[in-house]
């Protein structure tokens, strides 16, 4: 039985009408390491204990579509009144059912970039969005 998971079939639910992102980067967790040493002995080895959790910024990429300003408008909204959203990145099986989900709590776009305009070639424009968020939970189905 083959239980391998492939990374090419996914969907991003972010509160916008389009969920057709082509890439997701930064799905990772990190933990601060705290070193504690008892007493003042210089020869005593420090004990390492887990500290606070930290999450990488998530980068989403998708093709730019004519007339689609939803992501830009969400980014622009942050200047007036922050609009936090819960974002879910679903890894899907062949039947389009989620097998893993990364849930980002209170996410907002911190950066929006577009691929360069180049007169010498005709490439599909990409929109790149960097999300900041409070926490991430990974779920398996």
pLDDT of residue 47: 87
Count how many domains the chain has. Answer: 1
Whole-number pLDDT of residue 85: 98
Q: What is the pLDDT of residue 28?
A: 94
User: Is residue 53 a part of any domain in this protein?
Assistant: yes
Q: Report the pLDDT value the prediction gives residue 122, as an integer from 0 to 100.
A: 87
CATH code of the domain covering residue 79: 2.30.110.20
Which residue ranges of the chain lie beneath pLDDT 50? none
In this prediction, residue 68 carries a pLDDT of 95
Distance CA 131, CA 107 (A): 6
pLDDT at 41: 66
pTM of the model: 0.88
Give residue 129's domain range: 10-140
The residue among 141, 130, 68 whose CA lies nearest residue 99 is 141
Q: Is residue 85 part of a domain?
A: yes
27 located within any domain: yes
Instruction: Decide if 5 is inside a domain.
Output: no
Apex 42 CA angle, 38 and 46, nearest 5: 45
Q: How far is CA 118 from CA 114, 115, 125, 131, in A?
A: 12, 9, 10, 27
2 occurs within a structural domain: no
Look at residue 109 and tell me if it is in a domain: yes
pLDDT at residue 4, rounded to an integer: 86
């Amino acid at each position: 039985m083959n239980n391998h998971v492939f990374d090419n079939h996914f969907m991003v639910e972010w509160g916008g009408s389009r969920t057709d992102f082509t890439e997701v980067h930064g799905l990772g967790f990190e933990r601060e390491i705290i070193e504690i040493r008892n007493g003042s002995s210089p020869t005593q080895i420090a004990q390492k204990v887990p500290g606070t959790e930290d999450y990488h910024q998530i980068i989403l990429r998708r093709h730019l579509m004519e007339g689609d300003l939803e992501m830009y408008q969400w980014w622009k909204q942050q200047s007036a009144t922050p609009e936090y959203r819960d974002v879910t990145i679903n890894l899907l099986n062949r039947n389009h059912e989620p097998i893993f989900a990364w849930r980002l709590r209170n996410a907002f776009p911190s950066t929006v970039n577009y691929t360069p305009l180049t007169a010498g070639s005709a490439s599909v424009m990409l929109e790149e969005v960097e999300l900041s968020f409070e926490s991430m939970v990974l779920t398996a189905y």
